[in-house]
Chains A and B, each alone.
Chain A
């Protein structure tokens, strides 16, 4: 369902970014980049009560004319961004959440791989597979 999926590291550089209509990739990159500001704003807002568990799922970050951007941040400040085509009959929130959950799980698996250095771009085939599965249905 997603049009573009991105994983951004704590330092706000992309670990993994993939968009489906490969021709317009730059546009999605830009979108993801701008969405990072929104993510930052959201996580700083919740930080008032540090003891409280911050919701990992950030929800709709901002909608544009063509698509909607959803965000999710892990406890280690790794951010997942999903860009969804607006023309798609809007996916339910649950579906987006489940997508993020799957992403998070496969990201964890990638991190568990001792051959993967945190901070490297993600080159795991399994992760690619999961992402493709989520993006295939799009457009």
Chain B
């Protein structure tokens, strides 16, 4: 035997062919049947074949050893290229194209397929298993050559993956994916093609034809649609797995067989590539084990899963309860134990319900299992619904933030910051998942559909917030003043508003924080100035953090409000500005929920009482006047007047506290607020009615002074900043003016006092609430004692 030198590709190809022919797997002897078929597939005249066999020494040996087989193949190649058959030409011929077993193979395959049909499916498997189709290293050829074997490959491919008992195919030897031509359209046609056998029968015929056409597209030399088509019917007795899958999805249209066909469809797309590349079996194996690389869900699969999800739960963002999921997956006829395991893997958040992503993951696992793949111990990454968690954590703060209309940018930042801190990890995962969502790749990361506030939504909300921020400078002020002015004119209406605001304030304590802000603002506003509820919407600061900021912002607001009022608005309105105790009310509100119900009950009676109390507050007008005087003082650099104002307002304020000591805490707080509002001048003194705000705060504020005002304007909240900006705008000459030390001092004093009043009012309100709570507690304890049976030891 002449030594045979083969190129690498030839070596591989020949070894594949040998393996293919080596049904007995002896690695030495090739069955004659296969070999003969193969040779016939070479489209050579039979005498040539005989000659070849003679030359390679098979006739001598009586069988084809590996070397004989290789020689034979090479001779076939030589013959196909038209060269005379010579032994010496074995090594002499360079650049010999690989032997082409185009049509012949197909025929052979068709015959095999027929055989398979006849024989049991089991017969198929061993054959197919052994049929490691030689993969003509088409990639070497770089043209659509060597298609023939690939046409037959699909047969095996289809059959193999479907057979649960398939022995593992040899790992891909050739670079599986070397799609020189991977026509995007073909896969679909292939898929349809494949679907036919397992799916609707009716569609088979029509699909076969176009598929055949597509097929020919890729196989230049071929005009073998017929054999190809012939093969398809051979696919019809698909492995039982597919059929069972079909029955599973019997209620779904044939298209739903896609997932069942997924392995085959994947193979199809693979085959198409392999048509070009020639690496069929390997690719197919890879595809069928389609989940190896990634347990990735292709687009079609995903769409199918989504459709299935919709049949159970029309809302894509909703859940599928466990019971319906159980029914659904039981239809797949997998053992309960496995279904249980799949459930454990896919129910990521362990809530007993499946979201869309969880459902897709579960479905994918079921498909995999049905096709013979073992379930993983852990959920593969590509199936993990990370986004859901992220979005949930991101949603809540966003929603809350969004709910606060005047959320300033700062608070936004705070919120986002808190989000990040709390869900940093999930957030990163979220990003990593979302990022690679390019449609081109077959990889489809679970796209969070369930999330209601999606990223876009978040962005929208942020935009809204920022937009609102921008609007705030004017809107709150504009909106509020008119209201307040109107109310000022109508005390009754004011009272009504006040009552409502108060009621709302308390009821809002029950509602989520989102409502608290505006309502508390209103309440505080109403409390501050019954006549002029101009509350300029003190920006409701974020609930917990940055209380200091809020305080400072409130201070700023107070200051700005005062300034604004001084800017020429009616004195009452000026008083109205002082506003609300934004930061504190939150904790008040949060604690209030416990007493919220009671508060509400009390509010009702409180409403009318508020009305009554507001009336006595009307006489506080003079305080307003004082305030304006104060403003005038400020303008005229008469700080000395401040103490006068304080003194003047003090008695009035003293009265207020006494009034406030009435049963209604709201009234009291309102009274106090009113006191403070007008008596911004009277800082600590007025707050003497109630516990003063922390003294250090005003001091700090002083230190901060105007310079900090500006930066703080940014911090507090859009509203506050807006207000402050507006105030600043209206106060051109205020504090910044150098050289006007007195003014600066007065301004800072004013601010501090405002802060004091606000804080003091807040304090009093809180204390009132505390009292009420204690009373409630006592009453409840008494009831408990009465109700508790004496057996209690």
- Given A48-B793, A124-B341, A125-B341, CB of A113 within 8 Å of CB of B347: yes
A115 adjacent to B350 (CB under 8 Å): no
Interface string of A115-130 (1 = CB under 8 A from B): 1100000011110000
Stretch at the interface among B136-144, B281-289, B318-326, B588-596: B318-326
User: Are B341 and A114 in contact, CB atoms less than 8 angstroms apart?
Assistant: no
**Further 20 A-B residue pairs, CB within 8 A, beyond A112-B351, A115-B339:** A49-B792, A109-B344, A112-B350, A113-B322, A113-B340, A113-B343, A113-B344, A113-B347, A113-B352, A114-B323, A114-B325, A114-B352, A115-B326, A115-B343, A116-B340, A123-B340, A124-B340, A124-B344, A125-B341, A125-B377
Task: Note all chain B residues with C-beta closer than 8 A to A115.
Answer: 326, 329, 336, 339-340, 343
Could you pull out 26 A-B pairs where Cβ atoms are within 8 angstroms? A48-B793, A49-B792, A49-B793, A108-B350, A109-B350, A112-B322, A112-B347, A112-B350, A112-B351, A113-B344, A113-B352, A114-B323, A114-B325, A114-B326, A114-B352, A115-B329, A115-B336, A115-B339, A115-B343, A123-B337, A123-B340, A124-B341, A124-B344, A125-B341, A125-B344, A126-B344
Minimum CB distance partner of A125 in chain B: B341
Chain A proximity mask over B722-750: 1 for CB below 8 Å, otherwise 0: 00000000000000000000000000000
B340: A residues at CB distance < 8 A = 113, 115-116, 123-124
Q: Which residues of B contact A124 (CB under 8 A)?
A: 340-341, 344
Report the minimum CB–CB distance from B369 to chain A (whole Å).
13
- The residues in A between 80 and 97 inclusive whose CB is less than 8 angstroms from any CB of B are none
Contacts of A113 in B (CB 8 A): 322, 340, 343-344, 347, 352
Q: Which chain B residue shows the least CB distance to A108?
A: B350
CB < 8 Å A-B pair total: 40
- Residues from chain B with a CB closer than 8 A to the CB of A108 are 350
* Contacts of A38-96 to chain B: CB distance below 8 A: 48-49
- Chain A residues closer than 8 Å to B323, beta-carbon distance: 114
* Nearest neighbor of A114 in chain B, beta-carbon distance: B322
A48 to B791, CA, bound (A): 8
Cα distance, A114 to B343, chains bound together (Å): 8
Which of the listed residues A108, A112, A113, A125 has the most CB atoms from chain B within 10 Å of its own CB? A113
A interface residue numbers (CB < 8 A to B): 48-49, 108-109, 112-116, 123-126
Where chain B touches its partner, the secondary structure class is: helix
Residues from chain A with Cβ under 8 Å of B326 in the complex? 114-115
Name the residue of chain B whose CB is nearest to the CB of A111.
B352
Q: Given the known inter-chain contacts A124-B341, A124-B344, please indicate yes or no for A112 contacting B793, CB distance below 8 A.
A: no
Closest residue to A110 on the B side, CB-wise?
B344
A48 to B793, CA, bound (A): 9
Instruction: In the A-B complex, list the 7 residue pairs whose CB atoms are closest, starting with the nearest.
Output: A114-B322, A114-B326, A115-B340, A112-B352, A115-B339, A113-B343, A109-B350
CA distance A51 to B351 in the complex (A): 28
Q: CB-nearest residue of chain B relative to A116? A: B340
Q: Which residues of A contact B793 (CB under 8 A)?
A: 48-49
Query: Which residues of chain B are near A48, meaning CB under 8 Å?
Result: 791, 793
Nearest CB of chain B from residue A106's CB, rounded to whole Å? 10
Within 8 A of A (CB), among B342-387: 343-344, 347, 350-352, 377
For the complex, give the distance between the alpha carbons of A49 and B322 in Å: 36
- Complex Cα distance, B323 from A112, in Å, reads 10
CB neighbours (8 Å) of A114 from chain B are: 322-323, 325-326, 343, 352
- Determine the chain B residues whose CB is within 8 A of the CB of A49 once the complex forms: 792-793
- Please indicate the chain A residues that have their CB under 8 angstroms from the CB of B351 in the complex: 112
CB distance from B341 to the nearest CB of A (A): 6
What is the bound-complex CA distance between A114 and B793, given in angstroms?
42
A48 to B792, CA, bound (A): 8
Instruction: Determine the distance from Cα of A116 to Cα of B336 in the docked complex, in whole angstroms.
Output: 8
Rounded to whole angstroms, the CA-CA distance of A17 and B309 in the bound complex is 37
Report A-chain residues with C-beta under 8 Å of the C-beta of B343. Answer: 113-115
A49 to B336 Cα, complex, angstroms: 42
Docked complex Cα distance between A115 and B336 (Å): 6
Q: Which of B323, B325, B341 has the most CB of A within 10 A?
A: B341
The CA of A126 and the CA of B377, in the complex, are separated in Å by 9
